[in-house]
Amino acid sequence: MQRLIALVLMALALLVAAPAVAQESTAAALPLMEDELAEQRVPVAVPEPTPAALRYYETGHWVWAASIALGIAVPALILWSGLAGALRTRIERSVRFWPLVAGLFVAAYFALDWLLSLPFAYFAGFVRQHAYGMSNQSLAAWLQEDAIGLGVTIAIGASFIWLPLLLIRRLPRMWWLATGALCVPFISLILFVKPIWIDPLTDNFAAMQNAQLETRILALAERAGIEGARVFEVDKSADTNRVNAYVTGFGGTKRIVLWDTLLAKLSPEQVLVVMGHEMGHYVMRHVAIGICVYSALLTLGFLLLHLSARAVLERSGARLGLRGPSDPAALPLLLALAGLVQFALMPAAMAFSRRQEHEADRFALELTRDNHGCANAFASMLATNLGVPRPDAWVVWLRSSHPSVGERIDFCNAYRPWENGEPLRYERLFGK
């Protein structure tokens, strides 16, 4: 619903951890017993999708297409109806300080956008999830979480939106380049404060209840070269049946996070492999690399936004009552165009994300050498999340930030260079 914020923060939907300092080591995994080695060599079959999973997958295409269309149609409606210009004029009658005018317009616009999009959000995020047994959340809890998300978006947007609008005003030909350069510190700041200020608004973080498993996770983290991390368990079972885990933050905000749903549905060995994957993101500096790559993509996106907005304003700006691209009332135009630009750039962003996810899978296997546990973890999560193991090629290309589950299980079954005495790609990163 917040397309400009979504464009600037496109990387945040794909980044899962902050980088840690890696340590040189030649440490090896603990040797397996003969029966464990035999089990590791037995391939895990890729599960067939259930009828419910197939329905969820197929209807999801329409939900996805509708969300894209709505993200463009709502700002276009607000713009062409004259609401944007009228709202800006009313704010200017009460406030003369231009950055404050921009901030108040952003707050009012996002609230209006949220209200117009609420029926679809209710269907996609509440009704549909309950229909497929994916959610346990009450309507009151869902509305509260959605409202909190709106509040965070308004706070971020109202606080920062004046800066790109100011750059548009001062650098009308090169604002896109300057705004792209600001993405690096802006995304870095959000990633730093998100674990301690934003995430706790909707999630309840507590110490792990399974002390023995916590000890094993911390030992695995130390072996992965991550020191000083804390493990948190999030109570998500009251809201969802999905599973998730991640490593996030850096410095004083570094933390390992597991949903209680994952702990309930996966075995301890499977949990350790999942955590090895998340630790791989952390150790391989995927966030630092991702910030650079996504900032470059965003800069290209801002250039496309600049060219398209200029063409529309030259042709229809006066009729729409817009004074130029830096006019706060032009924000809906920028957001509608940003939705198109984001759609055009998503295949490149998704391809980069899938590569990082694949390398994190490799890291987890080299760290744990538990091929069987890794493949079974993916199979379990596939069933829990109503996934389809081998989606259509266009879905992978356009929408998938991770390799298909079928592809990941195949990789888990086949990748075991240690059995042939081959060097491990990431062993140098393991802690002592």
List, by residue number, the catalytic residues. 278
Amino acid letter, residue 196: I
Query: How distant, in Å, are the alpha carbons of 103, 117, 179, 311, 334 from that of 171?
Result: 20, 33, 10, 17, 17
Query: Whole-angstrom Cα distance, residue 33 to residue 130?
Result: 44
Residue with tokens 């965003």: 298
Residue with tokens 């297409």: 65
256 within 8 A of 275, measured Cβ to Cβ: yes
Residue with tokens 């709505």: 70
In what helix (H) or strand (E) does residue 232 lie, and over which residues does it extend? strand 230-234
- Concatenated DSSP letters of 243-290: --EEEE--GGG-EEEEEHHHHHHS-HHHHHHHHHHHHHHHHTTHHHHH
Query: Whole-angstrom Cα distance, residue 179 to residue 184?
Result: 10
Sign of the C-alpha dihedral computed for residues 326, 328, 330 and 332 taken in this order = positive
Query: Whole-angstrom Cα distance, residue 299 to residue 311?
Result: 19
